[in-house]
Amino acid sequence: MSLAIFDLDNTLIAGDSDFLWGQFLVDNGIVDREEYDRTNRHFYEQYQAGSLDIHEYARFAFRPLAEHPLDTLLEWRERFMQEYVRPILLPAARALVDEHRARGDTLMIITATNRFVTELTAQAYEIPHLLATEPRHVDGHFVAEIEGIPCFQRGKVDRLMQWMAQHGEDLEGSWFYSDSHNDLPMLELVDHPVAVDADDTLQKIADERGWKSISLR
């Protein structure tokens, strides 16, 4: 039994759930369309370029979480899941997850997108372990700051190491699937790195290093 670890956005789903959550907020008039859409796209371009300041992004992205009551946020999240995420779940991704499940592997999603946005997607794929960027809570309310280590770039490795120490797991025979060059630290860590519908930078590296490349689209 080995760890089978999956990136989420543009890997298990055909899109970026963090970006789409912003679009949901814009489309429903929850935030100012022009300002939010412009800033959201700016940060997404930084992410694609590998230059994102995750703490600066979190202060922007978590602001709607901090400004609204939890009951309202949960209602919005359910609508978001049904209208924006379920249409981009991938049958081939589900089959891959089920293949690892049948082997008895330990299934995990590790994603830079925050836990509030990604929990329902992990449940949809029946993946029990989710490591995600954690919004800070104070007295039952979200705060527009990150709690602990951001689950981004090298932070994914740090969070995984913490989790393995707590659960008595190791990396023998481990797998990691990702589309993004931002995940190079994780891909270099595991025994079986797999590039999935990879961006140009990651695809070039995967080809040079002889890593497996697949498409789930």
For the domain that residue 99 is a member of, what is the CATH number?
3.40.50.1000
Residue 88's pLDDT is 98
Mean pLDDT calculated for residue range 118-130: 98
Q: Which domain holds residue 204?
A: 1-217
195-204 pLDDT per residue, tens = 999 999 999 9
Residue 50's pLDDT is 82
- Greater confidence (141 vs 88) lies with 88
Active site residues: 7, 9
**How far apart are alpha carbons 126 and 102 in whole angstroms?**
13
Work out the percent of the chain whose per-residue pLDDT is above 70.
100
Mean pLDDT calculated for residue range 115-128: 98
What is the number of structural domains in the chain? Answer: 1
131-145 pLDDT per residue, tens = 999 999 898 889 999
**How far apart are alpha carbons 6 and 104 in whole angstroms?**
16
Q: Is 27 a residue whose pLDDT tops 90?
A: yes
* DSSP code per residue over the chain: --EEEE--BTTTBSS-HHHHHHHHHHHTTSS-HHHHHHHHHHHHHHHHHT---HHHHHHHHTHHHHHS-HHHHHHHHHHHIIIIIGGGB-HHHHHHHHHHHHHTPEEEEEEEEEHHHHHHHHHHTT--EEEEEEEEEETTEEEEEEESS-SSTHHHHHHHHHHHHHHT---TT-EEEES-GGGHHHHHHSSEEEEES--HHHHHHHHHHT-EEE---
Residue 114's pLDDT is 96
In 10 A of CB 208, how many CB atoms?
8
